[in-house]
Amino acid sequence: MTKSFSNLQIDSERLWGTIHETARFGATPKGGVRRLTLGEEDKQARDWFRAACEAAGCEVHVDALGTMFALRPGRDMTKPPLGIGSHLDTQPTGGKYDGVLGTLAALEVVRTLNAAGIETEIPLCVVNWTNEEGSRFAPAMMASGTYAGDFTTEDILARKDADGVTVAEALEAIGYRGSEAVGARRLGAFIELHIEQGPILEAEGKTIGVVHNGQGIIWYDGRLTGFASHAGTTPMPLRRDALATFAEVVLAVERIARELGPEAVGTIGEATIENASRNVVPGDLTFTLDVRSANAATLDKFDIMLRKVFEEIAARRKVAVELNQVWRKEPTQFDAKLVDAVEAAAKELGYGYRRITSGAGHDACNLATVMPAAMIFVPCKDGVSHNELEDATQADCAAGANVLLHTVLALAGVANKR
Amino acid sequence: MTKSFSNLQIDSERLWGTIHETARFGATPKGGVRRLTLGEEDKQARDWFRAACEAAGCEVHVDALGTMFALRPGRDMTKPPLGIGSHLDTQPTGGKYDGVLGTLAALEVVRTLNAAGIETEIPLCVVNWTNEEGSRFAPAMMASGTYAGDFTTEDILARKDADGVTVAEALEAIGYRGSEAVGARRLGAFIELHIEQGPILEAEGKTIGVVHNGQGIIWYDGRLTGFASHAGTTPMPLRRDALATFAEVVLAVERIARELGPEAVGTIGEATIENASRNVVPGDLTFTLDVRSANAATLDKFDIMLRKVFEEIAARRKVAVELNQVWRKEPTQFDAKLVDAVEAAAKELGYGYRRITSGAGHDACNLATVMPAAMIFVPCKDGVSHNELEDATQADCAAGANVLLHTVLALAGVANKR
């Protein structure tokens, strides 16, 4: 931290005001936000953001996937800028903080530096990544994924929403199909502030999560094949019940996750009994399984343990168990120097903090594969997110923004007090 | 058994021929039958049945719900006739034997008596009960239920199928809305031959099931209310997972059924995760539960054990468990004298037999509440029923019909060899 600015604080009221001002764009009656990517409400939020960034002295550039880069010059313009930001799109019944906090806190950092007359050594770039949520167009985090080289721009432009509208058409419709090639605007590093979307900080009474890594994910599709039979005429010992077998599978997933914990989780989110009927012993059942850990070796171990116990259950129950991996994403390792900088800022500012793993995917996770990156978490009420009930306190939002500010000061350096 | 006729046998080829002749009415490409009650195919089967009964010397009467009573006079016409039969309707993708075997075996008994020139002391009545299956109109077994006083005729006539057609309209459309009041045609007793629809006889290598009772049933609707949360960000110990809780519930039902076995069964046939998503810990889940036993005290005990263990699981998991009884049907006790007569016939004819509980509901179960009744089971392949794959052997069908014949001879008495 640059000692002479150690008392510098963002303007908590101003940040809180912008969060609630932009929450109008797609506001729902229940107090949430519905701002699907590249829709009319997203355009309103983008237009507001562009105007606010320009008013703060930034030059706003838009790439071919609509990602907005608001550049605040630094003393040394030969250096790639330090990226800060998040996303402004929301889930169909989303909240006011997911993505919004990180984007507007980045803007607030610029406003605070402006007010303090501070020029940084390295330029800054406030970024609004297109389609983080993935609710309208798949996949989620498509713009940062393309930026990181996981997809081609052409592929993503051709993706369609449920109404058959392509990403290209949606971008044209709201005037955000930019001319810059995706990835051409090079960033030196990226820091993203975000609500935790989980219950850990709140449960432990910590204000700041210093995110040092992100979970890898394996997605599976599963199928159980037993034998459908009459609920009244089939004695218990003669049943080949797909649901009772599944019950053992569910508990096995939970047990393995606990054994490999605390940093492994396993979730069965979907399950469907085929041709279900009140008086028929279930014969066929399909399910999905989501396994996560920040440690790739733990993911591998989870997979091996799962298959072993599933095999045992299947043999004993005379029910066939299939488990097919449909996706695997390796764990994210955030940059040690950046993580240390975030931690130092939290400590210096006197906030309670802990190192934490990101359980959800974020644009910063994609970017971490191609540049130094880190994240800052603040608590959200009851760990609830992707929900109109999503909530966070003004004090926690301000704390996160202050940590972002001081991380920026430490990393970008102060060139001049103008 | 009337000793002088102890060698009398039904005509196995003729019975087998009629089963396959009538299987044309609603035949499916996969070898099954789709003959929904009171539809065009049901009319064809009814017309065939009426003509066959009349050709066998019976007078066919139809009641207000379309049930067909084919009367074969006995010597003493002051006595109420002995009813034999079953139903001719099928499931949407049903088989060739469910219901059909019992109805056509009853006709075969009449034909055999005719061929042998036997007049019984008590008249016989071959019955085809309307809508046993309940697939088109609810409830199942509606005609025998109304006959037994469980419903009023007016109520049942007003019931609608999925297209809004009432039972009254459907009866009119096929010309089977009879003039007799339901229940007016008094029967002295009722014997029903049926395929087992379960795997026990086949598993034990027995030809005849002497059905001495029928399971009572409790149906429940259940709901689990936990808390939906993010699959990645919610540590295992902080979850209130409705599905993991449900898994314990499923295994508890299975364990209790086994503990109260062998004559108790418990089945969860339907389960739905509300707002299911691959990466969301399930928060809400609904399910159905079907509990059966031939012993009312066992049903009560099952209920008490369920509620106790559900409460324990719910408290430990911090997930609310609701269990609402939506229907209860008391166990059926078949008439001891009739059951003995069935057993004596099976024994005399040299068939392997065992006493057995009916796990499914049958018209005979309804009738048992208002008259002496009993049932005869024969094996079906793999216990499969309500399925186009439903199968039974010619020899077993003939064995069942022979047991029916000799039970009839014992109960109705031989008046004269004409």
User: Could you report the per-residue pLDDT of B353-401, keeping only the tens digit for each?
Assistant: 999 999 999 999 999 999 999 999 999 999 988 888 999 999 999 999 9
Contacts of B241 in chain A (CB under 8 A): 254, 267
Minimal Cβ distance to B279: which of A200, A246, A269? A269
**CA–CA gap between residue A12 and residue B283 (Å, rounded):** 35
The stretch A124-150 carries a mean pLDDT of: 95
Could you list the beta-strand ranges (E) of A53-142: 59-62, 68-72, 82-86, 118-120, 124-128
Question: Per-domain residue ranges for chain A?
Answer: 3-214+331-417, 216-329
Helix (H, G, I), strand (E, B) or coil at B48: helix
Q: Which residue has the tokens 């610029």?
A: A110
Whether the per-residue pLDDT at A120 is higher than 90: the answer is: yes
Instruction: A342-346: list long-range contacts, CB under 8 Å, 24+ apart.
Output: A342/A191, A342/A208, A342/A210, A342/A211, A342/A374, A342/A375, A342/A376, A342/A403, A342/A407, A343/A210, A344/A1, A344/A410, A345/A1, A345/A402, A345/A403, A345/A406, A345/A407, A345/A410, A346/A207, A346/A208, A346/A210, A346/A376, A346/A403
Please determine, for residue B324, whether its predicted confidence score (pLDDT) is greater than 60.
yes
Give the pLDDT mean for A123-142. 95
- Put simply, the chain B residues between 227 and 246 with a CB less than 8 A from any chain A CB are 229-238, 241, 243-244, 246
pLDDT higher than 70, residue A2 = no
Pairwise CA distance, residues A221 & B75, whole Å: 69
Residue A1 has pLDDT above 80, yes or no: no
The CATH number of the domain covering residues in A3-214+331-417: 3.40.630.10
Which of B133, B194, B243, B329 best tests the A interface by mutation, with the highest count of A CBs <10 A? B243
- Whether B126 contacts B61, CB under 8 Å: no
pLDDT at B2 over 60: no
Taking the whole predicted model, whether its pTM rises above 0.90 is answered as: no
CB contact under 8 A, B269 and A276: yes
Residue A3 has pLDDT above 80, yes or no: no
Structure tokens that stand for B63 in this block: 């009641």
Which of B232, B383, B384 is opposite residue A265, by nearest beta carbon?
Answer: B232
What's the ipTM? 0.87
Q: What percent of chain B has pLDDT over 70?
A: 99
How does DSSP assign B140-154, residue by residue? TTHHHHHHTTSS-HH
pLDDT tens, residue by residue, B231-254: 999 999 999 999 999 999 999 999
User: In chain A, whose CA is at the least distance from the CA of B287?
Assistant: A278
182-201 in B: which are within 8 Å (CB) of A? 196-200
User: Given this model, what pLDDT does residue B3 score?
Assistant: 52
Burial B353-366 (b: 16+ CB within 10 A, else e): bbebbbbbbbbbbb
Residue ranges in A264-348 assigned as alpha helix (H):
296-317, 336-348
Q: Cβ neighbours of residue B381 under 8 Å, at least 6 residues apart?
A: B202, B389, B390, B391, B392
Put simply, whether B389 touches A (Cβ < 8 Å) is: no
Of residues A199, A230, A258, nearest to B197 (C-beta) = A230
Of the candidates B64, B48, B55, B186, the one whose C-alpha atom is nearest the C-alpha of residue B125 is: B186
- The pLDDT assigned to B1 comes to 43
B contact residues 356-375, partner A, Cβ 8 Å cutoff: 358-361
- Nearest beta carbon to residue B243 from set A257, A268, A278: A268
Nearest 10 degrees: CA dihedral of A351, A355, A361, A362? Answer: 40
DSSP state of B5: G
pLDDT of the residue at B4: 66
Q: Do A292 and B383 touch (CB under 8 A)?
A: no
Do A142 and A99 touch, CB atoms closer than 8 A?
A: no
Task: Write the DSSP symbol of residue A382.
Answer: G
Across the interface, whether the CB atoms of B231 and A267 are under 8 A apart is answered yes
* Domain B216-329: which CATH number of 3.30.70.360, 3.20.20.100, 3.50.50.60, 3.40.50.10190: 3.30.70.360
Average pLDDT over chain A reads 96
Query: Largest Cα–Cα distance of chain B, in whole Å?
Result: 86
A221, A224, A230, best to mutate vs chain B, most B CBs in 10 Å: A230
Say whether B319 sits in a helix, a strand or coil.
Answer: coil
Q: Is the dihedral angle over the CA atoms B281, B284, B288, B291 positive or is it negative?
A: positive
C-alpha distances out from residue B195 to A392, B67, B98, B208, B380, Å = 64, 21, 6, 10, 6
Q: Do B409 and B403 form a contact (C-beta atoms < 8 A)?
A: no
Tokens encoding A226: 């037993």
A280 interfaces chain B, CB cutoff of 8 Å: yes
Could you tell me which of A255, A292, A303 has the C-alpha nearest to residue B244?
A: A255
Strands B59-62 and B68-72, sheet pairing:
antiparallel
Nearest CA in chain A to B215: A232
DSSP A231-255: TTTS-GGG-B-HHHHHHHHHHHHHH
B383 close to A (CB below 8 A)? yes
Q: Which one, of A247, A38, A272, lies nearest residue A134 by Cα?
A: A38
Asked whether the bond before B73 is cis by omega within 30 degrees of 0, the reply is no
Interface of B with A in 286-325 (CB under 8 A): 288, 290, 292
Taking the Cβ of residue A259 and every Cβ of chain B, the question of whether any pair is shorter than 8 Å is answered with no
pLDDT band at residue A262 using 50, 70 and 90 as cut-offs? confident
The answer to whether the CB atoms of A231 and B203 lie below 8 A apart is no
Taken as a whole, chain B contains a residue count of: 418
**Least confident among A90-99, A248-257, B45-54:** A90-99
Q: Do A269 and B250 touch (CB under 8 A)?
A: no
For residue B354, the distance in angstroms to the closest alpha carbon of chain A comes to: 15
Q: How far is CA A92 from CA A96, A122, A141, in A?
A: 12, 37, 16
| Cβ <8 Å between A235 and B282 | no
Same fold, A3-214+331-417 and A216-329: no
Nearest C-alpha neighbor of B58 from the set B125, B141, B115: B125
Angle CA B60–B63–B69, to nearest 5: 35
The DSSP-derived string for B247-287 is HHHHHHHHHHHHHT-SSEEEE---EEETT--TTEE--EEEE
Q: Do A231 and B269 touch (CB under 8 A)?
A: yes
Q: H or E segment at B52? A: helix B40-55
Q: Per the structure block, which two tokens stand in for B188?
A: 């002295």
The Cα–Cα gap between B248 and A251 comes to 8
Length of chain A: 418
User: Mean pLDDT over residues B70-92, rounded?
Assistant: 97
CA angle A183, A189, A191 (to 5 degrees): 110
Residue A278: closest C-alpha in chain B = B269
What three-state secondary structure class fits B186?
coil
Give per-residue pLDDT as tens, B169-181.
999 999 999 999 9
The three-class DSSP label of residue B94 is: strand
Write out pLDDT tens, residues A8-48: 999 999 999 999 999 999 999 999 999 999 999 999 999 99
Q: How far is A244 from chain B (nearest CA, A)?
A: 6
Q: What is the DSSP letter of B180?
A: B
Residue of B234, B241, B279 to mutate, interface with A, max A Cβ within 10 Å? B279
Number of A/B CB contacts below 8 angstroms equals: 201
Closest residue in B to A220 (Cα) is B278
Record: contact B233-A198, CB cut-off 8 A: yes
C-alpha A120: how far from chain center: 28
